[in-house]
A and B are shown apart, each in its own frame.
Chain A
C-alpha cells in the first residue's frame, strides 16, 4: 500500500493505492487520523485501492467519527467496485459521503 497526502484549496486530499488489509490498515489508520487532525475537510481518494477489508473499513470509520467530532468532514472519492461492495456489506454506503472523483469534491467544496 502506498499513500500520498496533499492540500488543495483548504482540503486535505489523501490518496491510497494498493491493498488496505490487515497488514496495512494500521498505517492507513495513522495517516487518516493525522489528516483528520489538521481540522480541515478531508477527501479520501480510493481510486487506486484494489482491496479493502474490514480492518481498512474500520480505519475509515474511526477517521470519519474523529472528523465529525471535530466539526470537520470526511468524504470518499473514486470508490472502486470492490471497495464499494465492502461498504455496502457493512451498510456504511449511507454513512459516508461518497463522491465520484476528487475533482468533483473540490468543485463542490466538500
Chain B
C-alpha cells in the first residue's frame, strides 16, 4: 500500500513553528500506526512493526504472541532475531510472556535467571541465551489478546530503560487496535455470509409452503417466523376426488437444525399424502422415518388431516400437537386433544393402524390448527394468551371468510409480544362460505371520464360490454346501466353543480353472484341523505326521478366512507340472479 504521507513532508500552512520531521521513537510509532491502518493483511505489518522496534530499541531479538483462549495457550505469531521461534506454543501459565498476558501488565525483567517464571524451554529450543526481557501486553475490550516481547538490550548496560518500555507500550496499543479491527472485520464478513445463507434457506423454506391459495379455497394458512428461518410448517394439497390433505407441524428447537428437520418432515408429508389415505397411518410412517434418522433429542409435533369440501367433514390425526380448535357456527370452541406422542421419538409405540383419528363434521363451522407460538404470545395484560385468549381473537373474526379470518388473527397476534414462530391454518365449510359473501372479488372494469353529459353514452357502452362479458343477462344489464347512468347524472348535475366538472371514476367488481359498481367523484362532499329524497312516484312532475330509479333498479345503493383525497364514493350493488 502506498499513500501520501503528509506528516513527514512538513506541517500544513497556518501552524506556527518550524516544520520538523519525526525522528526516533515518534517516527517509528507514526510509521507503524499508518501501516496498521493501511494493511489489508495484518501479519506483514506486525512483522515490520516488530523488526522496527527491535532495531529502534537495540534488542537482540523480539517476538509477538497471540492468545488462543480456547486452548489457554499463547502462540508466537512472529519473531525477529538470531533464531526463529514463530509457531512456538506456551501454556498461559508459562513464561514471562504468560504472566504479562495473565496480568495484562508490562513486565521488565533485568535478569531472567533470578525470575522463576522464566520459561527456559524457549532458550533450549532456540539456542539463545536470554538475559533481560521487556514485555508489553496487547489488550482489547475483553482483556489481553497477546503481547510483544523484547530480549537482551544490546546497547548500554544491557538493561532496558523506561523510555524503551514507553515506546513498546505505545506500539503494543497501536498493534492491539489493528488486531481488534482486523478481527471485527473478519467476524462481520462471516456474519454477513451466514446471514446470506440463512436468507437463502428461508427462501427455500417459503418455497416448501404451498403457493397462495385461490380465492374461495376453503383452507388458508400463514406462517410468521420468529427468526429468519422457521421450525413451523404447514401444507395442503388437493387429492383426487376434490379432497384436500393438510397438515401443520412444529419442530422442537429453533434455528437452522429445526429448519432442516422441518424441510424433511414437510417433504415427507407432501410425498406420502398422495398415496396414504389415512392421516393416522401417514403420521405413523413419518414417525418411523424420523425416528430412524432424526438427530437425537429433536422431535416434531404435527396434526394432519383430510378434508372433504363436498360434505364439510374431515378426518384428523394428532401427534402431540397443540389441540386444534373446532369452532361451530353457533359459537364456542371444542379442542381436539392429542393423546399420542410427537413424531421422531421412538418407533413401535403405535398400533398397526397408526395414530388414532377423529372425524369432525364442520356443519358450517371452522377448524383452526395452530402452533403454540400463538397461545404463548403475550396479551396486553402481560400474560400469555392461552387457548382462551386465542379463542377471543378467533371470535372477533368469526363472520369473516377463512382467508380474512386467518389474516386478521395472524396480524393481531404477530403485533403482540411473541417469541416463537407463529403458524395458523384455518378450514371453513365451503358449503357455508358459498352462501356467505367471500372475498373473491373480480375487477371487471375501471372507466374514468369527465363529468359531462356527452361522456355518458361511452360510459354506458363500456359498462354494458363489461357486464355482458361477466355473463349478466340483458335485462339485468339494462337495469344496472340505467341505474349507474342516473347516478352519474346526479354527479354531473348536483355534485359538480356550478363548478368546473372534474372526473368520475367507475369501478365494476364481481363478487360471486353479485356485482358492485363504485362511483367516485372528486367534488365537495354531498349530503348522504340526498339518497332519501327521491321523489314520490305518484307525484307526476318532471325531474327528481333518478334517485328513485337507482333504488328500484339496484339491490343496494349507499354512500361509502369518503375516499382519501376527498370526493364522494357511491356504491351500487346488484345480484345477478
Listed in ascending order, the chain A residues whose CB lies under 8 Å from chain B are: 19, 21-23, 51, 53-55, 57-59, 61-62, 65, 82, 85-86, 89-92, 95
Contact = CB atoms under 8 A, between A and B. Distances in A.
B545 A22 contact: no
Q: Which 5 A-B pairs have the closest CB atoms?
A: A58-B542, A23-B453, A54-B545, A22-B453, A62-B542
B549 A85 contact: no
Q: Chain B contact residues (Cβ within 8 angstroms of A): what range?
A: 20 to 34
Contacts of B546: 53-55
Nearest to A19: B457
Contacts of A89: 548-549, 552-553
Nearest to A86: B482
B109 interface: no
Interface string B446-477: 00000001101100100000000000000000
Residue with the greatest number of chain A CB neighbours at <10 A, chosen from B485, B537, B540, B542: B542
A23 B457 contact: yes
Contacts of B478: 82, 85
A21 B485 contact: yes
B453 A92 contact: no
Nearest to B478: A82
B541 interface: yes
A53 B542 contact: no
A53 B453 contact: no
A55 B537 contact: no
B492 A22 contact: yes
Secondary structure at the B interface, as helix, strand, loop or mixed, is helix
A61 B453 contact: no
Residue with the greatest number of chain A CB neighbours at <10 A, chosen from B456, B548, B552: B456
Contact of B489 (A55, A57, A85, A91): A55
A92 B535 CA distance: 13
B453 A21 contact: yes
Contacts of B479: 85
Given A53-B482, A53-B489, A61 B549 contact: no
Contacts of B164: none
23 contacts: A21-B456, A21-B460, A21-B485, A23-B456, A51-B460, A53-B486, A53-B489, A54-B486, A54-B489, A54-B549, A55-B489, A57-B545, A58-B543, A59-B542, A61-B540, A61-B541, A61-B542, A65-B542, A85-B478, A89-B548, A89-B549, A91-B537, A91-B538
B374 to A, nearest CB: 54
Secondary structure at the A interface, as helix, strand, loop or mixed, is helix
B454 A23 contact: yes
Contacts of A23: 453-454, 456-457
Residue with the greatest number of chain B CB neighbours at <10 A, chosen from A22, A23, A55, A62: A22
A71 to B, nearest CB: 18
Given A23-B454, A54-B489, A54-B546, A92 B482 contact: no
Nearest to A57: B545
B540 A92 contact: yes
Interface of B: 453-454, 456-457, 460, 478-479, 482, 485-486, 489, 492-493, 537-538, 540-543, 545-546, 548-549, 552-553
A85 B482 CA distance: 10
Given A54-B545, A57-B545, A58-B545, A95 B540 contact: yes
Given A21-B485, A22-B456, A89-B549, 19 more contacts: A19-B457, A21-B460, A23-B454, A51-B460, A53-B485, A53-B486, A54-B546, A54-B549, A55-B489, A55-B546, A58-B545, A62-B542, A85-B479, A86-B549, A89-B548, A90-B537, A90-B545, A91-B538, A95-B540
B484 to A, nearest CB: 11
Contacts of B482: 53, 85-86
A19 B456 CA distance: 10
A55 B488 CA distance: 12
Nearest to B486: A54
A55 B552 CA distance: 16
Contacts of A53: 482, 485-486, 489, 546
Contacts of B552: 89
Nearest to A55: B489
A62 B325 CA distance: 67
Nearest to B552: A89
Contacts of A82: 478
Contacts of A65: 540, 542
Contacts of B489: 22, 53-55
A64 to B, nearest CB: 8
Nearest to B539: A91
B307 to A, nearest CB: 47
A80 to B, nearest CB: 11
A86 B478 CA distance: 10
Contacts of B541: 61
B463 to A, nearest CB: 12
Contacts of B460: 21, 51
A90 B542 contact: no
A24 to B, nearest CB: 8
A39 to B, nearest CB: 21
Contacts of B493: 22
B457 A21 contact: yes
A65 to B, nearest CB: 8
A95 B493 CA distance: 27
Nearest to B550: A54
Residue with the greatest number of chain B CB neighbours at <10 A, chosen from A53, A58, A62: A53
B456 to A, nearest CB: 6
Contacts of B553: 89
Contacts of A21: 453, 456-457, 460, 485
A91 B540 CA distance: 9
B450 to A, nearest CB: 12
Nearest to B537: A91
A19 B453 CA distance: 12
